[in-house]
A and B are shown apart, each in its own frame.
Chain A
Amino acid sequence: MTGVRVLVGTRKGAFVLTGDGTRSDWRVEGPHFGGWEVYHVKGSPVDPDRLYASQSTGWFGQLIQRSDDGGVTWEAVGNEFRYEGVPGTHQWYDGTPHPWEFARVWHLEPSLTDLDTVYAGVEDAALFRSVDGGREWQELPGLRGHGSGAGWQPGAGGMCLHTILLDPRGEDRMFAAISAAGVFRTDDGGRSWQPANHGLHSDQIPDPDAEVGHCVHRIAMHPSRPDVLFMQKHWDVMRSDDGGDSWREISGNLPSDFGFPIAVHAHDPETIYVVPIKSDSEHYPPEGKLRVYRSRVGGDEWEPLTSGLPQADCYVNVLRDAMAVDSLEPCGLYFGTTGGQVYASADAGDSWSPIVQNLPAVLSVEVQALP
């Protein structure tokens, strides 16, 4: 490996942070698409120079940008996201029916095996796929249409499909997570979907154990064990050992089990990371101390990681797509804050230092190991 490339989406553009093999010397490039919200930037596992970016504003809508040179130059590709058939309605915040309306792309997930195939999770929640590098997009309508869609309700940030996990054994199996509907799984490449929320308990909904309606913030998987899933829910950190058929809580000794991102160590599938946030109404770290918590045993027992992170007067948030791991040895960890800092750890979280400190609010962080 020659280094890493950190892809940062912010409220006002995208930034590319390139580090050498030591992950201590960084070059910052950007903003790309300055002034636009960039919800997500992600590279293809097939070719790290193929990047996709979601660029949007409330004024001028959605664009998808593609780069074939690692983010040096970009090309606007397709931006037509048309729901299949008659879109129908979902529930609005007040419980009334609300027409399905496309707002933006929250998350882009390039295929593990095909350079030109990429999935997009959008608001209002739906899953789209492009097989030509982002020029044309087709909805996989079985997700919205599987039966419960009319009852889905937006979370505070909108009704977004924010997480797409592809099974490395084959992309017939995928997971999608929606706020506030929950986790859904397909085993036939996206034609049909089933809820995968058994074991989730949410006191914020009328039936706390409902099949759908849970505000799942993020799910994560280690590629070596694709049936083991980890979840940061609105409240509660959860784990599934059977591909989402059932979940159990692993919050253990966390100071708060509210939060947004969750990540798995690149080389140890039982080592996981979360960033506890005080509450759903406060959205900042407990006690003003920014702490990543690590469990080396797959949950329940957690240790705070604080070296190099602000331990006083810190009131930033870390959003759901804003934490990533690299595949170098030792594993590197990265996260971005709503205060515009991007922190990096080159020792699996033991110590941290900022790469940049004054970006716009960070929406997403991804990292690529460069060959």
Chain B
Amino acid sequence: MVLPAHLRTLAGVHGEVQLTVKGSVTLRALLDALEEQYPVLRGTIRDQVSLRRRPFVRFFACEEDLSHEPPDTPLPDAVVSGAQPLVVLGAMAGG
């Protein structure tokens, strides 16, 4: 995964984040793994209670916008294999 700068700072990571996901690799499973490894990120990408994506957060991979995909949709093979990252970013806002 590639995290936005603010979340890299919070998590204390540099560059891409490599995650091991058990079972089907979906957005939900990936975010579960991310939050397990970096608990400080709970609530920053998706709401803690509803688990819905925060409105100004977007998910891109393989030049596609996956932000509106159901969370249990399998991620592209290139993301699963680690060839391409899932990019988490804050939507452009504010000029």
Contacts and interface: CB of A to CB of B under 8 A. Distances in A.
A59 B54 contact: yes
B78 interface: no
Interface string B74-95: 0000000000000000110100
Contacts of B93: 58-59
Interface of B is mostly: loop
Contacts of A59: 4, 6, 54, 56-57, 90-91, 93
Given A60-B7, A61-B43, 9 more contacts: A36-B6, A57-B6, A59-B91, A60-B54, A60-B90, A61-B44, A63-B10, A63-B43, A79-B42
B19 interface: no
B45 A60 contact: yes
A223 interface: no
B53 to A, nearest CB: 11
Interface of A: 35-36, 57-63, 76, 79-80, 82
Contacts of B91: 59
Given A57-B6, A59-B56, A61-B54, A82 B40 contact: no
18 contacts: A36-B6, A57-B6, A59-B4, A59-B6, A59-B57, A59-B91, A59-B93, A60-B44, A60-B45, A60-B54, A61-B43, A61-B47, A63-B10, A63-B40, A63-B43, A63-B44, A76-B40, A82-B49
A351 B47 CA distance: 47
A35 B7 CA distance: 12
Interface in B19-71: 40, 42-45, 47-49, 54, 56-57
- Residue from the set A35, A58, A59, A61 with the largest chain B CB neighbour count within 10 Å: A59
A86 to B, nearest CB: 13
A58 B91 CA distance: 10
Contacts of A57: 6
